[in-house]
């Protein structure tokens, strides 16, 4: 495909009259999901300059923190794929070169274009040698919607549990503390099981019903926090895990920015990705590269509720009676499909369904104020 640059990175763009989708060759991130009518891209661009993962050197790039997360943070942008980890590597894995959230976010992707017909499309492929996995993602434009189809191929001769999460992160100017709202097809929920930093006001390890999360309080009587609105505090952070409604065939989230009158939405088969994690960061992390400047909201749907090590994920087994990982068969394959859209709101458009069953229905959302 024709070479392009996006914020100094090697990239490829796919666009029609309504959307422009930009993906990065290194890391495979969906860096931009731009609504052309408003000029708004809801996805997060870090406040620090990013570089190609292949050029990262801890000795030359101390500004990214100098830890096992640094290779990821050096190149992160927008919607990144977590495979075959959702969380950090073990000490032994890190010694072998594994990074936080797995190799996907630091791999070099081969990107090819479609045949030029409808729908417009591109295909991304990469090998993850440490995990012994081959990966393919196909993107197609259908009007105001992007269709994603992913295939995970095992190169190993053993069955094994894997993490597989779509780490969608929103950022300014779309993201507005105290203003941006989200709707999620969630039911049972749980806060992060240990203290998620001094800026988190949520009670650790608490189970609750969406969206009312228990908060820390000396008397444990503080009012719960409504997770549907991004935190307004000057310094705030936190993580919560949410089970997608088992009564629905499809799961989804929509986020709305009142300042821009724009919404972004993702929809997927609940059986593919039964969990959604919500990670909020509002200028609470002071260490590099965050430097107290970062505002981002992660809406991370996948096969696991919490970012954690492979051993912890495997030993957890289930939460609320639902598995917390996916098994990849020896020399086998797994497939998943999901859709994304962005556009002017009061209400998102209904998704097209050339592949989803005819029963697909976008959840009846609020009439955004």
Q: What is the pLDDT of residue 172?
A: 97
Residue positions counted in the chain: 369
Task: Lowest mean pLDDT of 26-35, 51-60, 140-149, name the range.
Answer: 140-149
Count CB-CB contacts under 10 A for residue 57: 10
Task: Give the domain ranges of the chain.
Answer: 4-344
DSSP per residue, 246-274? TT-SEEEEEEEETTTTEEEEEEEETTT--
| Residue range 207-216: mean pLDDT, rounded | 95
Q: What is the pLDDT of residue 196?
A: 87
| Residue range 255-282: mean pLDDT, rounded | 94
Given a cut of 90, is residue 348 above it in pLDDT? no
36 CB-contact burial (10 Å; exposed 0-12 / middle 13-18 / buried 19+): middle
Note the pTM of the prediction, 2 decimals: 0.94
| Residue range 233-254: mean pLDDT, rounded | 94
Given a cut of 70, is residue 174 above it in pLDDT? yes
Pick from 111, 109, 275: nearest CA to 188: 275
| Residue range 199-210: mean pLDDT, rounded | 94
Instruction: Give the Cα separation of 80 and 302 in Å (integer).
Output: 12
Given a cut of 50, is residue 358 above it in pLDDT? no
Asked if residues 146 and 341 have their Cβ atoms less than 8 Å apart, the reply is yes
274 CB-contact burial (10 Å; exposed 0-12 / middle 13-18 / buried 19+): buried
Instruction: Give the Cα separation of 303 and 207 in Å (integer).
Output: 19
In the chain, pLDDT over 70 holds for what percent of residues? 91
CATH of domain 4-344: 2.70.98.10
Ranges of beta strands (E only) in 16-159 are 19-24, 30-35, 79-84, 110-113, 121-128, 133-142, 145-154
How high is the mean pLDDT of the chain? Answer: 92
Q: What is the pLDDT of residue 226?
A: 94
Q: What is the pLDDT of residue 2?
A: 63
Pick from 178, 167, 165: nearest CA to 295: 178
**Which residue shows structure tokens 């969406």?**
210
Given a cut of 80, is residue 279 above it in pLDDT? yes
Q: What is the pLDDT of residue 14?
A: 95
Q: Which stretches of the chain are DSSP H helices? A: 70-75, 91-95, 310-316
Given a cut of 70, is residue 351 above it in pLDDT? no
| Residue range 62-86: mean pLDDT, rounded | 97
pLDDT digits over 147-161, tens only? 999 999 999 999 999
pLDDT digits over 99-147, tens only? 999 999 999 999 998 877 789 999 999 999 999 999 999 999 998 899 9
**Which residue shows structure tokens 């105001």?**
144
């Amino acid at each position: 495909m024709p070479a392009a640059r996006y914020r100094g990175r090697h990239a490829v763009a796919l666009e029609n009259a309504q959307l422009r989708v930009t993906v990065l060759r290194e890391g495979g991130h969906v860096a931009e999901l731009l609504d052309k009518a408003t000029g708004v891209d809801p996805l997060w661009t870090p406040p620090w300059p990013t570089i190609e993962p292949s050029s990262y050197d801890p000795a030359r790039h101390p500004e990214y923190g100098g830890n096992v997360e640094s290779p990821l943070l050096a190149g992160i942008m927008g919607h990144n794929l977590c495979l075959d980890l959702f969380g950090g590597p073990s000490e032994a894995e890190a010694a072998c070169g594994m990074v936080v959230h797995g190799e996907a976010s630091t791999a070099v992707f081969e990107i090819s274009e479609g045949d030029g017909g409808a729908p417009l499309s591109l295909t991304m492929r990469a090998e993850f040698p440490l995990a012994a996995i081959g990966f393919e993602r196909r993107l197609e434009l259908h009007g105001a919607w992007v269709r994603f189809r992913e295939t995970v191929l095992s190169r190993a001769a053993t069955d094994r549990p894997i993490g597989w999460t779509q780490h969608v992160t929103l950022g300014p100017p779309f993201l507005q503390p105290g203003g941006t709202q989200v709707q999620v097809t969630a039911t049972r929920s749980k806060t992060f099981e240990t203290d998620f930093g001094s800026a988190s006001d949520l009670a650790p390890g608490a189970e609750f019903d969406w969206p009312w999360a228990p908060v820390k309080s000396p008397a444990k009587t503080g009012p719960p926090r409504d997770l549907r609105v991004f935190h307004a505090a000057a310094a705030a952070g936190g993580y919560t895990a949410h089970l997608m409604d088992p009564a629905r065939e499809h799961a989804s989230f929509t986020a709305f920015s009142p300042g821009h009158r724009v919404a972004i939405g993702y929809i997927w088969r609940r059986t593919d990705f039964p969990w959604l994690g919500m990670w909020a960061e509002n200028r609470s992390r002071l260490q590099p590269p965050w430097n107290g400047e970062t505002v981002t909201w992660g809406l991370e749907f996948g096969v696991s509720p919490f970012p954690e090590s492979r051993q912890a994920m495997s030993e957890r087994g289930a939460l609320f009676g639902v598995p917390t990982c996916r098994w990849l068969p020896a020399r086998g394959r797994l497939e998943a499909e999901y859709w994304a859209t962005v556009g002017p709101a009061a209400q998102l458009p209904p998704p097209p369904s050339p592949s989803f069953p005819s029963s697909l229905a976008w959840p009846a959302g609020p009439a955004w104020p």
